[in-house]
Structure 1
């Protein structure tokens, strides 16, 4: 199995959507083609202010010519494989060594191969085990917080873990709550119980079963009641994150009382972590009740 790196930045000139497609010019084709069927780690260049470094992982389904632009190609991401890191991984480790040990002089290469050892190191740092981060009831369908530990082997542990639905739900929640500082985007409340568990939940804007990815841009932190209302189309958000209330809500004044004074969802400052308009629009068109 091949592993690689895709360099991406939010202000890229390319038509990228990390959770579904990665566009690149023809000169990169020779490096990208071997990654079909393999896994890639996304990296944000260090020259980007407050760079996230290595920030996500995904599986490449296929490499195809871009149908809209000559001499451009697209790496199509296999559905339900993209996953944002809970903890972004810097280029350099605390000991001064690079986390991508095989980088060498290829730092400017936007597409490059990655050794299994470097893939293991980076994904393990980005998706760390954390037994004290307990999910709320129902977050893990089978009641397990993590896969049984077995001797490490890249394809048996890391890759299988990345495809495990219970594990992905757990990691998605951690990534979303980290982005929102465990604060509900609608109420602004940051409620933590005595055991250190946040009251807020991670809501998929476009559900996974409807083709939505496990991307922080397809997520939003909501209190339990607001999550319930959002899933049932009783509240939604404009592209500018104005909070929308369905006319079918039977107790509008009580809902309005829960909304933070701005009337807008509180979102992360970084553009790459804010709800993406594509997903917000899908929810308005397919879920939000008039």
Structure 2
């Protein structure tokens, strides 16, 4: 059994990245992702799960839902938490890069944190569109996708479709204009590619109860069966979000709604 040892700042930074890629109910020593991370850190799964539960005690998104973590977070835990959330554009990519190095993910590989399968490294699919972004941005985007998709239980929040290849981590506040919220899981929705496109273009949004609101511009197309089946049947339905998930930030959704209906 690995001996007890102090956590380093780098270890806590990568562990916090994993924390945000799992929901509270998955923070236990039997979780595959935690078992794999523990092996790389030379620690027991139980000790890693305990550290993630310490982080949970610092999480305001969980406190809002009445979920408590495990007391006993150290001063260094608190420092790493503050740094991670005050400088996400800098620290999140660092966390992801450490994780990628642990799992020997090369530059042409994708790393995914999959709660049911573990941490997987795969070659990028052939035909992937290559967007010209820096390595730092790519690491941040990889983290954000896992954080948002896993926060929604790996399924579209509208339809419940669980096919990961068809899902998008949608930004509520646009990536280009809201740099401070780019990597905030509460600025993300897990949507199918179709519903992501509709959300991005202001054809759908969500109210303060997380119910789908459809724009007048899209309703004009309801006589078309394909449009009605994909949207009309979900109007007024609440986003499907796990009980222990971090809920989308309502203020961000209000901003999204105002930008849509200002175009009427």
Aligned length: 189
- TM-score, normalised to structure 2, is 0.53
TM-score (norm 1): 0.49
Match of 2:222 in 1: 252
Match of 2:57 in 1: none
- Find the aligned partners of 1:136 and 1:221 in 2 and give their Cα distance: 23
Contact 2:167 2:190 in 1 (8 A): yes
Q: 1:223 to 1:96 in 2, by over 3 A?
A: closer
Asked if the contact 1:140/1:169 (under 8 Å) is kept, the reply is no
Q: Give the CA deviation at 1:234.
A: 0.7
- How far the C-alpha of 1:251 sits from its partner, in A, is 0.9
8 A contact 1:201–1:221 mirrored in 2:
yes
Residue number among 242, 254, 259 corresponding to 1:281 in the alignment: 254
Shift of 1:108: 4.2
Structure with the higher fraction of residues in strand conformation:
1
1:230, distance to aligned residue in structure 2 (A)? 0.6
Q: CA RMSD in A?
A: 4.6
Q: Which residue of 2 aligns with 1:207?
A: 174
For residue 38 of structure 2, what is the aligned residue in structure 1? 93
Greater RCO structure (CA 8 Å; 6+ sep): 2
Q: C-alpha distance in 1, partners of 2:237/2:214?
A: 11
Partner of 1:154: none
Where do residues 225-240 of structure 1 align in structure 2 (5 Å cutoff)?
225-240=194-209
For 1:235 and 1:136, locate their aligned partners in 2 and report how far apart those are by CA, in whole Å: 31
Alignment of 1:75-224 (within 5 A): 93=38, 95-96=43-44, 98-99=47-48, 107-109=72-74, 112=77, 124=99, 129=111, 130-132=120-122, 134=124, 140-142=130-132, 164-191=136-163, 198-211=165-178, 212-224=181-193
2:87 aligns with none
User: Which runs of 5 or more residues in structure 1 are unaligned?
Assistant: 7-37, 54-86, 144-159, 192-196
Does the CA-based 8 Å contact 1:199-1:224 persist in structure 2?
A: yes
Q: What's the counterpart of residue 79 of structure 1?
A: none
